[in-house]
A = this chain, B = another copy of it.
Amino acid sequence: MAMIRVAYQGERGAFSERAAKRLAGDAIETIACPTFDAMFDSVLQNESDCCVAPIENSLAGSIHRNYDLMLESGLSIAGETNLRIVHNLIAPPDVELHHVRDVYSHPVALAQCTRFLDANRTMKASAVHDTAGAVRMIMEEQRCDAAAIASDDAAAIYGARILARGIEDNAQNFTRFLLLKSGERELPLPAATSRWKTSLVFRIENKPGALFRALGVFAMFEIDLTKIESRPIEGKPWEYAFYLDLAGRAGDAKIARAISNLAELAETVKVLGSYPSKW
């Protein structure tokens, strides 16, 4: 049996690559893509079987671009996982902490390690495109005065050494990743856990009370909501789409009934997927 090909954004050792293995198993072929657009294209062009998209971070919020690409591409959600983001200071093996003058990482990672950098004023922080790419760069250039901020996977992959572990300001730093695939496609994914979720997006008329009535269809059947977010509709000021996550499977009788009631009330409803949730 051929290995599942899973596309992700970033370089080898990226947090997305770890999410891919947690979602699709260790025996997969991971395909590194430079951008989110290229990652979705890889699935649409059948160069990959599925992809792993970060969709929200507990500190930075929802990644709307990936919501948009999910809608445009028509891919559907086949799984989710939540990764704790741990940042480490990583350098070539012979470099000691007091040698480090330059620190490279993605600007979001640098921003999440402000306290460490403030406490180490001799280090100059520089932004690059990718956390794992920063490790690859300092190893390739054999820098004796530089370090990167990245995952421990990245350190292991490029043969670098961790000088300081867990240097992020806030330990409550999680990123939620979705596994996305073409709706028709069956993939040999690991067996599902018991907890399922269903994600959908809907539009309702722009009127006071409209959202209240729409949520009534779920309240009626005591369905648990796990996320709601409104989002302005492009080119239509003051009109909104609503993204909703529910506990349960779209095939469950109550959820199927609630969604069919919502379709009566709403202008549009689209189920984005029903999937097992791994935490």
Which residues of chain A have a CB within 8 Å of any CB of chain B? 35, 37, 56-65, 68, 106-107, 111, 114, 127-129, 172, 208-209, 211-213, 215-216, 218-219, 222-230, 232, 234-235, 237-238, 240, 242, 279
Contact = CB atoms under 8 A, between A and B. Distances in A.
A47 B61 CA distance: 29
**Does more than half of chain A's interface fall in helix, strand or loop, or is it mixed?**
mixed
A64 B107 CA distance: 16
B229 A230 contact: yes
Contacts of A209: 218-219, 222
21 contacts: A56-B61, A58-B64, A58-B232, A59-B64, A59-B65, A60-B61, A60-B63, A61-B64, A127-B127, A127-B129, A208-B219, A208-B222, A208-B223, A208-B225, A209-B219, A211-B225, A212-B218, A213-B219, A215-B215, A225-B230, A229-B229
B37 A114 contact: yes
Contact of A238 (B114, B208, B226): B226
Contact of A224 (B208, B216, B237): B208
Contacts of A127: 107, 127-129
- Considering the complex of A and B, which 3 residue pairs feature the smallest CB-CB distances, nearest first? A212-B219, A209-B219, A208-B222
Oligomer: number of copies? 2
Contacts of A172: 234-235
User: Quick one: which of A59, A61, A62, A129 has the most chain B CB within 10 A?
Assistant: A61
A223 B172 CA distance: 35
Contacts of A59: 64-65, 68
Given A58-B232, A208-B219, 5 more contacts: A58-B64, A60-B63, A127-B127, A208-B222, A226-B240
A149 to B, nearest CB: 14
Contacts of A237: 279
Contact of A111 (B35, B62, B68): B35
B65 A62 contact: no
Contacts of A60: 61, 63-65
Nearest to A63: B61
Contacts of A58: 64, 232, 234
